[in-house]
Structure 1
Amino acid sequence: MKQFKSIAFLAMMVIGSVITFAQDIAHIDTQAVLEAMPAYKKAEADLETMGKGHQTKIATMEAEYKTFMESVQKQLAGKSPEESQKIITTNKYQEKDQELQQKFQAYRQAAQEEMVAKEKALFDPIEKRVNDAISAAATKKGIKYVLPAGVTIYKNGGYDLFNDVKKELGL
């Protein structure tokens, strides 16, 4: 009988600590919080606008290159290989071709670097603000661990910090 009481007491302690531990854990869908923020939506729109501007410029450069190549092909049409080589050398078509390709590659690289820098400048402060709000909401609720909702394999209840974080952010 004494062993039964000891086992029962131990079981209650384990169950109690598990329940207490479960109250220290919350989950949150940070992507849903981000998408609820007007600043995030504006940052996405700004980045998309910049991307479309770069796409337009790249399309213009591609059209310029295509026009150049069509012009060269018209001049070389029906010419013998020797005549074609002479025209290519005289008009410096190979140099112009390389110049256009280098200009295109340089612009693409610069555009990509600008997009990465802009994305970082726009989204890092927003993500920091969300992380700070998660920390503040968790602290107010006495929560020690916050798991991303997408990582949680199984949850039966648990505390969802979503509304608390939205409140912290003033949304």
Structure 2
Amino acid sequence: MNDRHEQWQAAERLALTLTEGGLQRMAARTLAVFLFTDAETVTMGEIADRLGVSAGSVSGSVKSLLSVGLIERLPAPGSRREHYRLRDDAWATLFTSQNTVTQLMLAAAETGIATTTADDPAHRRLTQMRDFYQFLLKEIPTLLQRWQERQQPLR
């Protein structure tokens, strides 16, 4: 599939699938740009041009993708625009403590636990929420190490 038109159709189908999976539409389309671009970095303006939308509508999507660790901001000496790229370890980062959303979930659970008593059903649910995220963050490094070992022959 060398035809750029076919690639962008595939990108839009991917974005639609991601949207059906719960990602906001603009964030899904923005992520598709990062996955399908042949440029090393992109700016919000370039994403907006590619998607045929305003730069302002891309801003929230970029912020969202930054917060979960899928993309990163890069220095661009001589440019007044911010440059972004899909992280090399994007999918692994999505499940680590670098994911701002995971940290927010943990903090929310802790805050809720602190405001409830041990006999309150909310306390039990919030404790389970906190314990799940703590367990996940403890177990993920081993899983990611196995993933990286698996990727070594591919590099």
| TM superposition score normalised by structure 1 | 0.28
Name the larger-Rg structure: 1
The structure with the largest helix share of the pair is 1
Q: Greater relative contact order (Cα 8 A, min sep 6): structure 1 or 2?
A: 1
| TM superposition score normalised by structure 2 | 0.30
